[in-house]
A and B are shown apart, each in its own frame.
Chain A
Amino acid sequence: MWLTQSAGPKSLGKPNLTIYAPEHDPAAADMTLPECPLGAELLVTGLRLPAADAFRLNEMGIRLGTVAHVTQHAAFGGRVIAVAGSRYALDGGTAALIDVEPVTTLR
């Protein structure tokens, strides 16, 4: 697990931390969650959220390496994703800070 300082604008008074997997290639052109089409299978590769929020995502089951499916596009960039049978609703701002890769590119 790597933790790096982020220059992201959404600090909300706390340091932004980007969490990447060790095998992550920073030069690779990741997608963000809102960019994924409906029904896409994806792999979570980065969480560019404020530290406490990223940690809560981890605790709820959305972690690096988590495989998810986009099940719904909602208003204002909101997304619903399926992870291990559960459905998670994420607002547009949060979804935009989650980096993903289509699973097919890893196989």
Chain B
Amino acid sequence: MSCHGSDSASTLVRNAGGLPDALRVLLVGGPNVGKSTLFNALTGARQHTTNAPGTTVELATGTWRTAPAGTMHSASASEVEPGSDLVHERMIVDLPGSYSLLARSSDEQVTADAVRELARSLGEPGDQQGVVVVVLDATALARSLYLLAQVAETGVPLVVALTMLDLAATATDSPTAAMQPQTLAAALGASLGVPVVPVDARNRVAGGMSELARAVDEIAAHPRTVTGIALPTSSCGCGTADASEGSAADRPVVGSVAADLERELAHAEVLFGWVEQVVEQVTTRCAPEPVAGGRAGAGRPGHRRTFSDRVDTVLLNPWAGTPVFLAVVWLLFELTTRFAAPLQGFIGQLVDGPLASGVTWLLSLVGLGDSWLQGLLVDGLLVGVGTVLTFLPVMAIMFTALGVLEDSGYLARAAFVADRAMRSLGLDGRALLPLIVGFGCNLPALAATRILPQARQRLLTGLLVPLTSCSARLTVYVLLASAFFPAHAGTVIFAMYLASVLLVLGGGLVLRRTAFRDVRAEPLILVLPPYQRPHLRTLGMSVRLRVGSFVMRAGKIIVLTMCVVWALMAVPASGEHAIGDVPVADSVYTAVASGIAPALVPAGFGNDHAAAALMTGFVAKEVVVGSFAQSYSVADPGDAAGGGGLGEQLRASFDDSSGGHGGAAALAFMVFVLAYTPCVAALAEQRRLFGWRPTVSALGVQLLAAWALAVLVFQVGSRL
């Protein structure tokens, strides 16, 4: 890592927000300090999420719009109409939460690089102005001040936003216990020499938003940084006043900490000393009598059990903690499946019924009834839109539930409780939550990976989620188990779920030893935030933005894929048919399935019916049964075990393609269904979260693994 930062950081700092002349503002702070809540309050709906260039680290960028200094009266000024001469726009980036600029993860690396790049670029002639807003947690001042010191060392102009003041005011055992917000901010400002603005992002009118805007503009006009911190001597921030130390942003990052620990510790000790000095100054200024103590942790009020401590005696209890965690996961599972199902059904019926009829009627009015265009619009586009819409309740419920868990403070406890279970995969305990939810539906489970603090862990979990057997696959298991193993159908279905768990564990271990060697089981050192009541407006805004992101980014891919599937079915490959009026057997779709079937021969189900069903299953597993019924022309697919129905035809077909080992072929087919891509919606969500490259790579690996496992199962099973 050069001292000039990475290209991705440069791109991030210069381009995010798309406002070439606007002031750049970087929001920097530790995890759970209220940084994202502040960002939402400052930007409102004028924000979007994107991955940091070249990474899978998700960032939120937006426009912070206010009336210019001197005319601002309240945060409502941020809602001035765009284009007005009174509007003052800033480009703001919500950087990943970080405890230190000596990064230990790709997320922290993005933050460190962005600060470094801003510091470097500020010295360039004609470059944009930039300010860093460091968000300090008033309940954990010492920890926040350490990060502030590192940022200040880079020489960037900075402003401090002081959060969690309501909790600090009622705290009993922190150095800032019972201090009044304005008093604490004034004392900090006097010690730091930069503006310190107390903010309450949940209160947009009197929460300090306007004051923060004024402070940022003032610092941009008259740049200065924290007093008492050694500044870089060169404009690029590559040197320091004391060359023997150097700032955190100048030093190399991941992997180098152990190499030069003594030097790092020596420098950190200087910063710790400064932090303790500031804390002591602040407590002295705010308290009637100076509080003695020089060491961290000393000089504070005596320890008293807080409300959170009392709650934790239950939620983190060695015996009660795990059942409570499992109950929470079960509730999530129920919400995203049983509770969402009626809503999904209603939307599905609305799209398939009145909406489809309406479009058909309109087309017939303009003379396009029964045309290929009607097929494309109703059976392609509308089906795609309907698919996206039916997933909206699931996604909204999942995002709301996760927001409640996160804002309440329980999610950090969940990570602690489940840590042991996920340690063998090198994952944070929170990874257990999406993996369990995946057994209901993979789509919200993928969305739930956002709760993991590190991008690499999110990606690894996101690659494992498709291996969890969602409820849609159950329909396939029930059909085939009933048809081939009527006396042991329950056992076979149970075995498929067991196989899913083994696939997740096996897949995780393989990935950790190959593409994810950098993901290791790190010691769990987790700050537990105090329990809080979630703020409904903030929660609602977060859910709206995330659902919107799903619709705009994943939805487009889903709709496009549905149109492609329609085209494959609408274009004739044989016979005399018009486009859009083709029997499935004569369509390109079936021709493609026939081309795939030979590859499935080693797995025992190398027939056109099975190949076509697997192709349909790529779109959604729910329709595999329907595809079988359609290709065998069966009216009632539910009668799998009965004679003359789908079950008999399946047995005949699988027996034929497997040389008389239909049972083994059916098992192999179920394993294939378990291991390959769950559905196009999950694929689109993976693309939204992780980008094209990991998604396409995972798709290829899943198909290969599914084929290999199916072949293995059939070859072994047919010999027993």
Contacts and interface: CB of A to CB of B under 8 A. Distances in A.
Interface of A: 1, 3, 12, 14-15, 17, 19, 41, 49-63, 65-69, 71-76, 78, 80, 82-91, 93-94
Contact of A65 (B177, B295, B417): B295
Given A1-B269, A55-B261, 15 more contacts: A17-B261, A53-B523, A55-B265, A57-B525, A59-B146, A63-B272, A65-B296, A67-B295, A85-B139, A85-B173, A87-B309, A87-B312, A90-B525, A93-B523, A94-B523
A99 to B, nearest CB: 15
Contacts of A85: 139-140, 171, 173-177, 300
A103 B295 CA distance: 14
B50 interface: no
Interface of B: 99-100, 102, 104, 139-140, 142-143, 146, 171, 173-177, 257-258, 261-262, 264-266, 268-269, 272, 295-298, 300, 303, 305, 308-309, 312-313, 316-319, 321-322, 412-413, 416-417, 419-420, 423, 520, 522-528, 530
A92 B202 CA distance: 37
Given A52-B258, A58-B268, A84-B174, A74 B297 contact: no
Nearest to A15: B258
Given A66-B296, A74-B318, A85-B177, A55 B526 contact: no
19 contacts: A52-B104, A52-B258, A55-B264, A59-B268, A62-B525, A68-B297, A71-B305, A74-B417, A75-B321, A75-B420, A78-B524, A83-B297, A84-B173, A84-B174, A85-B173, A86-B174, A88-B525, A89-B525, A91-B416
By Cβ-Cβ distance, the 4 closest A-B pairs, closest first, are A85-B174, A94-B523, A91-B524, A51-B258
Nearest to B300: A84
Contact of B258 (A1, A14, A69, A86): A14
Nearest to A50: B258
A60 B258 contact: no
B698 to A, nearest CB: 27
Contacts of B100: 56, 59
A93 B102 CA distance: 24
A87 to B, nearest CB: 4
Contacts of A69: 303
A82 B306 CA distance: 10
Given A1-B265, A84-B297, A90 B303 contact: no
A97 to B, nearest CB: 8
A96 to B, nearest CB: 10
A58 B525 CA distance: 11
A53 B262 contact: no
B206 to A, nearest CB: 26
A89 B523 contact: no
Given A17-B261, A61-B140, A67-B298, A82 B272 contact: no
Contacts of A86: 139-140, 143, 174, 527
A74 B139 contact: no
A74 to B, nearest CB: 5
A59 B269 CA distance: 10
A89 B309 CA distance: 12
Contact of B261 (A3, A59, A94): A3
B309 A71 contact: yes
A72 B527 contact: no
Nearest to A91: B524
Contacts of B258: 14-15, 50-52, 55
Contacts of A67: 295, 297-298
A87 B524 CA distance: 13
Given A56-B104, A78-B419, A88 B526 contact: yes
Contact of B268 (A51, A55, A80, A88): A55
Given A72-B309, A82-B173, A66 B525 contact: no
B297 A80 contact: no
Nearest to A3: B262
Nearest to B294: A65
Contact of A89 (B295, B313, B520, B526): B526
Given A52-B258, A93-B523, A61 B308 contact: no
A19 B104 CA distance: 20
Nearest to A71: B309
A41 B66 CA distance: 49
B525 A94 contact: yes
Nearest to B101: A59
Most B CB contacts (10 A, CB to CB) among A19, A63, A67, A89 go to A89
A65 B142 CA distance: 15
Contacts of A76: 318, 420
Contact of B420 (A49, A54, A91): A91
A41 B302 CA distance: 10
A78 B418 CA distance: 11
Contact of A58 (B171, B265, B308, B423): B265
Nearest to A51: B258
A61 B309 contact: no
Given A67-B297, A85-B300, A80 B316 contact: yes
A43 B264 CA distance: 23
Nearest to A92: B420
Contacts of B520: 12
A18 B69 CA distance: 53
A75 B300 CA distance: 29
Contacts of B175: 84-85
A82 B173 CA distance: 9
A69 B309 CA distance: 12
A78 B412 CA distance: 14
Contacts of B417: 74-75
A76 to B, nearest CB: 5
